[in-house]
Chain A
Amino acid sequence: MPEPEFFTALRLSLLVASLSAGLLLLLGTPLAWLLAFRDFPGKALLEAVFLLPLVLPPTVLGFYLLLFLGPEGLWTRITGVSWAFRLEGLLFASVLFSLPFALTAYREAFLSLDRNLLEVARTLGVPRAKLYARVVFPLVWPGLLSGTLLAFAHTLGEFGVVLMVGGSIPGKTQMVSIYLYDLVQALRFAEAARASLFLLLLSLLILVFVRLLERRWRAWRSTTG
């Protein structure tokens, strides 16, 4: 079993991952709906900006975020508080970093929604709220959940961004991936091996769950015809 420092770091990672996954669900769902169903000028550029963290080196993103959130940053000048090296900064960075994953999955979920179902539901004279609650949500939730879980797992594993924005303050901003790096730096390979195995199993578990969800989701969708 890994030592207590590992669990402190893991607890922080899990906290940041679940909070940012929750935030992504709140922000990403309406955004993905917009991108899936609406056309507006500048849509392609907006999509490219949201997808940028996917191709940008995490340290580049982290660097800009550090400038933005740091003591001299724009954010600090506007709000009066610096979010660098704090939980809020970690959260902000994680949300941005995992946004492309969540957004792509959410948009896929909405796009696979059969538009005919929505049209027919309208001709049946039901109120909008009932349409969302009884038709849209039951059909898209597996997609939303799998996107959120992917974002969660992605946040657990992030390194470059959180190192730049949060540093490695044990018990405050030291996330589990950074803790592992510090162990290896200190040549503590036995502890690193235990921690790695634990993380490997956790990630595998999440992915298996996501795959199961997706399978169920596909089976559902194929019955539309």
Chain B
Amino acid sequence: MEVHYRIRRPIALEVRFRIQGFTLLLGESGVGKTTLLKALAGLLPAEGTPYGGLPPEKRPIGYLPQDLALFPHMTAWENVAFPLRGKDAKDKAMALLERVGLWAHAHKRPSALSGGQKQRVALARALARNPELLLLDEPTSALDPLTKDQVVAELIALIRREGLPALAVSHDPALAGMADWLVVLGRKGVLQEGPPERVMAAPGRVEVARLLGYQNLFPVRVGEGGVEVNGVFLRLPLPPWAKPGGSAWLGVRAEEVMVVREDRPPPLENVLEGVLEGLHPQGLAYRGRFLGPIPLVLLLPRHVQERLRLQPGERIRVALKPRYLHLMPGEAEEAREV
């Protein structure tokens, strides 16, 4: 499904992208993700395809807002039965609840349900009107941080089983890996779209890289067989567009900065020497700052730190493997306005 929408208020936005299976639209807060969903649902004035000009009542969509908006005075089945008509509304609602695995909770009020259960009630209610497209606003926001990945994965599996295309908007890059199609939204429209693994491995622009969790981003000058950053030459395979003398951006993921083991033969290329400043646990890994010719954020897996036992203040060497260095087109100024 192709989407092309133009919105003037509350923010001006024109977007064009594809919805394919479970599609994730990733963007920073304030770029208009919720606005776009509401426009697609017909709740805000906008022009475009699909459904342009139709009132919300006439659009075949299922809209799950951020807070899910379950009716607090109705039980789960009453919520699901709300869009239904006729004598068998309750039976249909119960069947829908069974489809989302909540048959046993049908008589509970929303306040007695967990975040994930509320989400599935809202899904069942949306399914009750036979939508062609599901719209989900920040599906992880109402969830317990410890279980959100699993709960969302189950939700996505459920939506796939229903065979419905869905558009979810989020600022959470963790969702990107679970989607069938990834669209990255910036202030001026869509920055990049494609299969998530391709977009994540090769963001086309520095704004996209930042949204996808690249923590080390530098403006660089392209040289022969590599780039120059802060006066340091890094060797890497150059993409065809990168011409010596030109400007570009270099992105390195924190988890792809290698600490050199002194008991092993040293790597040949892109070795930097400096001081490890600060090392803090983050989940089961350790996040540190490397101060050297190029300042870097690094993320050490637990097994590496257990072997190296690095201390803050220690002199270390890090290596940037050419295949983990990602080059993107763009001038240095371009990033400042982002």
Per the CB 8 Å criterion, the residue count for chain A at the interface is 21
Instruction: Give 1 or 0 for each of B32-69: 1 = CB within 8 Å of chain A CB.
Output: 00000010011100000000000111110111010101
Question: Nearest chain-B residue to A121 (Cβ)?
Answer: B82
Q: How large is the interface on B (under 10, 10 to 19, 20 to 34, 35 or more residues)?
A: 20 to 34
Chain B residues with Cβ below 8 Å from A121 are: 82
CB-based A-B contact count at 8 angstroms: 65
B27 within 8 A of A: no
Q: How far is the CA of A134 from the CA of B71 in the complex (A)?
A: 10
Residue B109 CB within 8 A of the other chain:
yes
Q: Which of B55, B73, B110 has the most CB of A within 10 A?
A: B73
Q: Which residues of B contact A117 (CB under 8 A)?
A: 69, 71
| A80 CB–B CB distance under 8 Å | no
Does B270 belong to the interface (CB within 8 Å)?
Answer: no
Contact among B61, B109, B126, B129 with A223 in the assembled complex (CB-CB below 8 Å): B109
Which residues of chain B from 101 to 153 have a CB within 8 Å of any chain A CB?
Answer: 109-111, 125-126, 128-129
Main secondary structure of the interface of B (DSSP, over half): loop
Q: In the bound complex, do residue B72 and residue A116 qualify as a contact, i.e. CB atoms below 8 Å apart?
A: no
- The yes or no answer to A138 lying at the interface (CB within 8 A) is yes
When the two chains form their complex, are residues B59 and A123 in contact, meaning their CB atoms are under 8 A apart?
A: yes
Query: Is B293 among interface residues, defined by CB-CB distance under 8 A?
Result: no
Q: Does B83 contact A (CB under 8 A)?
A: yes
Whole-angstrom distance between the Cβ of B78 and the nearest chain A Cβ: 9
Interface string of B244-272 (1 = CB under 8 A from A): 00000000000000000000000000000
- Nearest-neighbour CB distance to chain A for B117, whole angstroms, equals 14
Quick one: CB contact mask for A111-137 with B, threshold 8 Å, 1 for yes?
A: 000101101111111100000001100
A198-225: contact bitstring with B at CB < 8 Å (1 yes, 0 no)? Answer: 0000000000000000000000111111
Instruction: Name the CB-closest residue of B to A117.
Output: B69
**Bound: A114/B66 CA distance, A:** 13
Which one of B56, B109, B110, B126 lies within 8 Å of A122 (CB-CB)?
A: B56
- Chain A residues with CB under 8 Å of B42's CB are 122-123
Interface string of A67-101 (1 = CB under 8 A from B): 00000000000000000000000000000000000
A162 at the interface (CB under 8 A from B): no
* Complex alpha-carbon distance, A116 and B38, angstroms: 11
Question: Please, how many angstroms separate the alpha-carbon atoms of A221 and B110 in the complex?
Answer: 12
Q: Which residues of A come within 8 Å of B, CB atoms?
A: 114, 116-117, 119-126, 134-135, 138-139, 220-225
